[in-house]
Chain A
Amino acid sequence: MSRRRKRNNVSDDVNLTPMIDVVFQMIISFVCTVELEKLSLNESIRLALSPHGPAVEKKDPRTVTVDVDQNGKIYFGSTRLSPELFLQIMRKTVSDYGQDVPVVIRGDGKTKHDDIRKVMDACKGAGLWRVKFAAIKDKV
Chain B
Amino acid sequence: MAHLDVFTPSEEAQAQKPEKPPNMLRVGVFQHYFTINDRRLDVNGLERMLIKLALLDKEQSVMINVSAQSPHESLVKALDLCTQAELRNLSVFSAH
Contact = CB atoms under 8 A, between A and B. Distances in A.
Interface of A: 48-56, 68, 99, 104, 107-114, 116-117, 120, 123-124, 128-137
Given A113-B69, A113-B94, A134-B1, 11 more contacts: A48-B76, A49-B77, A56-B2, A68-B72, A110-B73, A129-B10, A131-B6, A132-B6, A135-B4, A136-B1, A136-B2
Interface of B: 1-10, 13, 29, 66-77, 79-81, 83-84, 94
Contacts of A137: 1-2
Contacts of A48: 72-73, 76-77
Give the 7 A-B residue pairs with the shortest CB-CB distance, closest first.
Answer: A53-B2, A109-B73, A48-B73, A48-B76, A114-B68, A52-B84, A50-B80
Given A53-B80, A136-B1, A113 B71 contact: yes
What DSSP secondary structure best describes chain A's contact surface? mixed
What DSSP secondary structure best describes chain B's contact surface? mixed
Nearest to A128: B8
Contacts of B72: 48, 68, 107-113, 116, 133
B8 A131 contact: yes
A52 B75 CA distance: 14
Q: Which one of B6, B70, B83 has the greatest number of beta carbons of chain A within 10 Å?
A: B6
A110 B69 CA distance: 10
B68 A134 contact: no
A131 B2 contact: no
Nearest to B67: A113
A6 to B, nearest CB: 59
Given A53-B80, A112-B70, A113-B75, A99 B8 contact: no
A137 B4 CA distance: 10
Contacts of A132: 3-6
